[in-house]
Chain A
């Protein structure tokens, strides 16, 4: 999310993070609804919903965008496991810069769920 904020800083856009966390949208990112639906369906492994989302993205953004979106989802489905399976911490500057919104969005609660 830090890089989404930085991307917004570059373009002068204040992307909303809340809707990415709660799944309700409102981030201001183009084609947000289709892309978030694609993420949720692919991670859940729902064949029907993945097909619907894939079709919607191809219609709205094109086939290459659908493929690149699938690749991003796949890559992050893996790298989250690498991060959580090795116990690496956030770098101090990243932790400091993200402290406010991590707390506000409930992301810090993930720490307390670790057992």
Chain B
């Protein structure tokens, strides 16, 4: 396995247990544990099979004692991401999860999903969760984050301040919409992209069609990416 890839996966997994900006290390691991459990939730299976998910009433099959909006967010992101809507997001926020906590929760679910999918695809057991790191969340919100692009405020390249991490200064990141998605919590965004880019391609390699950077070609990579998007009903 490419060293860059194995190191990125290991780093991301370890980061799951580290103290976050809005959740402690222990809370972050609880979110990861719930994300794994969501795949076996009866209510989620029933909702997935209907045209209007929230028309099916009931309780999620949970593995943790996270709050109801956190449980609902984790389960829907894991089991039915393609049908998430702004109305659903607003209900989550109205019932007690802050926008920042939701954004970090989303990054944890996404990283857990990525690494579990990777391990399952490779045919190796899914890994034990890492140990929880110490520390208390700083709850620092980037000053320049502005509403208007997605459901929550985001930090555009021009609004990154000196005391923000260098979100867009790496590997040709242009600050496209998907790159900005997690930027309300810069640490979460950095952790996600430092895992994602070695799995896929760095931005400056994406359109460099004259050179291959992986053992699969550009067309093969993009075909697989497109098929995953179709399976998850993702337009982006």
Contacts and interface: CB of A to CB of B under 8 A. Distances in A.
Interface stretch (B21-29, B64-72, B165-173, B215-223): B215-223
A75 B103 CA distance: 18
Given A65-B216, A110-B233, 8 more contacts: A4-B226, A43-B117, A44-B231, A73-B117, A80-B234, A81-B78, A86-B106, A89-B177
Contacts of A76: 200, 224-225, 228-229, 232
B190 interface: no
Interface string B111-122: 101110110111
Interface string A44-76: 110100110010000001101111111111111
Contacts of A36: 223-224, 227
Contact of A75 (B77, B106, B200, B210): B200
Interface of B: 1-2, 5, 39, 51-54, 77-78, 81-89, 103, 106-107, 109-111, 113-115, 117-118, 120-123, 149-152, 154, 176-178, 180-182, 192, 195-196, 198-200, 206-207, 209-210, 214-236
B83 A80 contact: no
Contacts of B86: 87
Contacts of A69: 121, 216, 220, 224
Interface residues of A, number: 70
A77 B114 contact: yes
Q: Give the top 5 A-B pairs by smallest Cβ distance, nearest first.
A: A75-B199, A74-B118, A78-B114, A70-B121, A80-B234
A72 B121 CA distance: 10
Interface string A76-115: 1111111111111111000000000010000110110111
A42 B115 CA distance: 12
Contacts of B228: 39, 43, 72-73, 76-77, 80
Given A7-B209, A113-B233, A84 B82 contact: yes
Nearest to A79: B196
Interface in A17-32: 17, 20-21, 23, 27, 29-32
Given A7-B209, A82-B106, A35 B215 contact: no
Contacts of A87: 84, 86, 89, 150-151
Contacts of B81: 80-81, 84-85
Contacts of A27: 223
Contacts of B236: 80, 83-84, 88, 90
A15 B88 CA distance: 36
